[in-house]
Amino acid sequence: MNLAYDGLAAALAFITALLLRFDFNIPAEFSHLKIYTIIYTILSIVVFGYFKLHRGLWRYTSSRELVKIVEAITVSLMIMSVIMFLINRMENFPRSVFLILPLLHIAITAGPRISARLIREKLQAIKAGSHNEIKHALLIGAGNNADSFLREMNRQTNNDYKIHGFLDNDKNKQGREIQGISVLGNIQNSSDIIENFAKKNIKIDTLILAEDVLSSMEEILNIAKNKNLVIKRIPSISSLQEGESATSLKPIAIEDLLGRDSVSLDYKKIETLIAGKKVLVTGAGGSIGSEMCRQIAKRNPKNLYILENSELALYKIDMELRNKYPDLKIQSLMADVQDKSTLDNLLKCFPVDIIFHAAAYKHVPMVECNPISGICNNLFGTKIVADLARKHNVGRMVIISTDKAVNPTNVMGATKRAAEMYCQNLPTDKTKFITVRFGNVLGSTGSVIPLFTKQIKERTAVTVTHKDATRYFMTIPEAAQLTLQAGAMGKGSEIFMLDMGKPIKIYSMAEEMIKLSGLEPHIDIPIKEIGLRPGEKLYEELWYDGEDMNQTEGDKIFLVKSTKLKLDKLVKKMEKLYTLCQKHESFGAVKQLKDIVVEYSPSKTSPYSELTKNNVIKIKN
C-alpha cells in the first residue's frame, strides 16, 4: 500500500513539475516526456523499497524517516539524470524541472505522513486531557536544560504540564523566547507574575527547576509555600534511570540545597587510568564502593572485579552492572579483606592493575561499641590489601579515607588515620598508594538523610544529635568521580582531600527536609535533640594543623602534605595492636591505637574517654 502511494506521489510530482515549468501548457513536441514520467515512477518505487520506507507506519513518522525520504528522492533524481543523459544526453528536456521536482516530491510524499502523525497526536492529546488534570507551570531557568525539556515534551503526546513561561535572573534573557515561550521576568518578580496569571483564571500550581538556582533556593521555597505551589526539577542526564526521559520530573531533594557547583573532571586522564585496565573494587556493595563500580564500568575497563563480604550487597551490584553493561567482563568475589589467604589466591588468579579500596566499617557509634572489629577491618584489612598489592605488583591502589581521620575522637576515625599512615609510608617501587579523604556523602548507609526521610514519612519527631553539630556533605556520584580523578593524578604516597564546600548544620538540614516535604518544622513535625552519640564530635575537620594544603590542577581536589614516618616503628606498634586484638582486649587495643595515632583523643561520650589526658585539639572550620 505504501509503495503504491509512493509510486503515485512520484508520478504526480514529475507531472506537476512539468506543468509548472510550461505554465500548464506542455507543447506537443514534449510528448516524449510521458516515458520519462513512467521511468521516474518505477525508479522511485525501487529506490523507496531499497530504503524500506514502505515498512513505516505513517502515524508514527519520525524525523529519521523524513531524512530517509529526502535521501531516497535525492538518489532517485541522481539515477534519473544519469538514465536521461545516456538516452539522449538530456536533449529536449527542461533542466529547471530538476529544481522544482525534488521540492514537490518531498512535499507530496512526506505531507500525508506528517499529517497522519499530527492527527494521531492531537486525538491522543484530547483523549489524555479528558482523563488527566493539566498542571500549569513556570520553568525556572531559561537554558539548555529547559530547551531539552520542551523538545521532549513536544515529542510526547501525554503531558501533564502546560508551560506558561520562564523565570530567569539573567537580564539578557528578559523578553526573549525559547520555542515560543517567553521569559516573563526574574525569580524576585515571580509572585507578581503568578498573580497576573490568576487574573486570567490560570492558576500556576507548579514551579519546575531547569537550572541550578541555589542562590535563590530559599526564596523559591518561600514562594512555593506562600502560593501553595509544588516544586519539581528536571533530572540531569546522568541521573536518568532506564525508561525515563527529561520530562520525568523529580521532587526537590536535599542535595539540591547543598550549594555545591558542578564538578569539572579531566575525563581524558580518568579514561587513561581505567580504559583497558583490570580493576578491583573492595567493599563493592557499599554506598561508595557501588558508585565507584558504576563510574568505572562506564569507562571501558578490561575487567572489573567486585569484592564484597555481604552476599546480598554483592548480588545487587552484580545484577545492576550486568544488566547495564552486558559486554563488560565482571567477576564477583565474595570475600573479606581480613582473609589474607583468600585475597592472596584471588589476586593470583585474577591479576589486577588498580585497586580501589572502599571496604570499611564507617558507622561511628557501631565501631565505638565494637572496637576490635573496627580495628581489624579498617586498619588490618587495609594493611592486608596493601601488602598483597605490592606482592602481586598492582600498579596503583587508591585508599578511600574520611574526614573523621583528622584529629579523631572515635575508634573509626583513628583506624582510618592509622591506615592512612601505613599506606602513605609504604615504598612506591611496585605500587603507588594514593589516599583520598572526604566527608559525609548524602544517602550513604548510616547517614542521617535516610533516617530523616523515614521519620518525616512516619510523622514522628526528627532526631538530631546536637543543635550546633555540623558536617561536610557531598553527593555519592561526586565523591566517586573526584576519587577517580585524584587516583589518576597521584604519583604515590599522597593524601588528597576533596573540597567539601561549607559545613552544614544538621539541625538546619532537618528543617529544610521537613519543608521540602510540604510540612512545617516544629509545627507539623517536631525536631528533637538526643545528644551526641558515642565517639561523635560537634565539628568535623579535613586536615591537621601540621599538614600543608596545596591546590592541584584538579577541580575541588587538594593535596595534603603530611610528615613521613619511619615504617619499621609504625609496623612494630601495629604488631602489638594486632596481638591485643587477637586476645580481644578492647581497652588495651584502643589504648595502643592511641599510641599509633597520637592525635586520637576519645570524646567525652566515648567509652574510652579516660584515655584522653589533657589533649587540646584545635577545631578548624
User: For the residues 287-315, what does the mean pLDDT come to?
Assistant: 96
Q: For the chain, percent helix, then strand, then coil, each to nearest 5? A: 50, 15, 35
pLDDT of residue 620: 36
User: Hey, CA dihedral for 18, 21, 25, 31, is it positive or negative?
Assistant: negative
Which amino acid would we find at residue 575?
E
| pTM of structure | 0.68
User: For the residues 463-478, what does the mean pLDDT come to?
Assistant: 87
User: For the residues 226-237, what does the mean pLDDT come to?
Assistant: 78
CA distances from 186 to 139, 141, 194, 213, 261 (A): 11, 9, 12, 12, 21
Q: Which helix (H) or strand (E) holds 297?
A: helix 287-297
Higher pLDDT, 353 or 549: 353
pLDDT beyond 50 at 85: yes
**Grid-cell match 589486577, residue found:** 352
584-617: burial string, b at 16+ Cβ within 10 Å, e else: eebeebbebbbebbebbbbbebbbbeebbeeeeb
pLDDT of residue 255: 65
pLDDT beyond 60 at 28: yes
pLDDT beyond 50 at 261: yes
pLDDT beyond 90 at 344: yes
DSSP-derived pairing of the beta strands 470-471 and 548-551: unpaired
Lowest mean pLDDT among 85-99, 231-245, 400-414, 592-606: 231-245
Higher pLDDT, 57 or 490: 490
DSSP SS3 for 488? helix
Q: HSE of 416 in the Cβ direction (CA atoms, 13 Å)?
A: 29
Helices (H), 359-410: 364-369, 371-374, 381-391
- pLDDT tens digit string along 274-286? 999 999 999 999 9
User: For the residues 498-523, what does the mean pLDDT come to?
Assistant: 83
- pLDDT tens digit string along 479-497? 899 999 999 998 988 999 8
pLDDT of residue 146: 84
DSSP SS3 for 519? coil
Measured between alpha carbons, how far apart are the two ends of the chain, in Å?
A: 74
Higher pLDDT, 389 or 476: 389
Rounded to whole angstroms, the Cα distance separating 113 from 96 reads 27
- pLDDT tens digit string along 517-552? 778 899 999 999 999 888 887 887 766 666 666 778
Burial of 128 (0-12, 13-18, 19+ CB in 10 A): middle
pLDDT band at 226 (very low <50, low <70, confident <90, very high): confident
184-216: burial string, b at 16+ Cβ within 10 Å, e else: bbbbeebeebbeebeeeeeebbbbbbbbbbeeb
User: For the residues 289-296, what does the mean pLDDT come to?
Assistant: 96
Catalytic residues: 404
Integer Rg of the chain from CA: 33
pLDDT of residue 618: 37
530-554: burial string, b at 16+ Cβ within 10 Å, e else: eebbbbbbbebbbbbeebeeeebeb
Q: Domains plus CATH for the chain?
A: 2-127 (no CATH), 133-252 (3.40.50.720), 267-611 (3.40.50.720)
Higher pLDDT, 603 or 371: 371
DSSP 535: T
318 CB-near residues (< 8 Å, 6+ apart): 306, 330, 332
pLDDT beyond 50 at 619: no
pLDDT of residue 246: 55
Which amino acid would we find at residue 58?
W
499 CB-near residues (< 8 Å, 6+ apart): 556, 557, 558
Higher pLDDT, 119 or 392: 392
pLDDT band at 441 (very low <50, low <70, confident <90, very high): confident
Angle between helices 381-391 and 340-349 (to 10 degrees): 30
Rounded to whole angstroms, the Cα distance separating 277 from 343 reads 19
User: For the residues 182-196, what does the mean pLDDT come to?
Assistant: 89
% pLDDT > 90, the chain: 43
Rounded to whole angstroms, the Cα distance separating 82 from 252 reads 62
Rounded to whole angstroms, the Cα distance separating 576 from 596 reads 10
**Grid-cell match 599510641, residue found:** 595
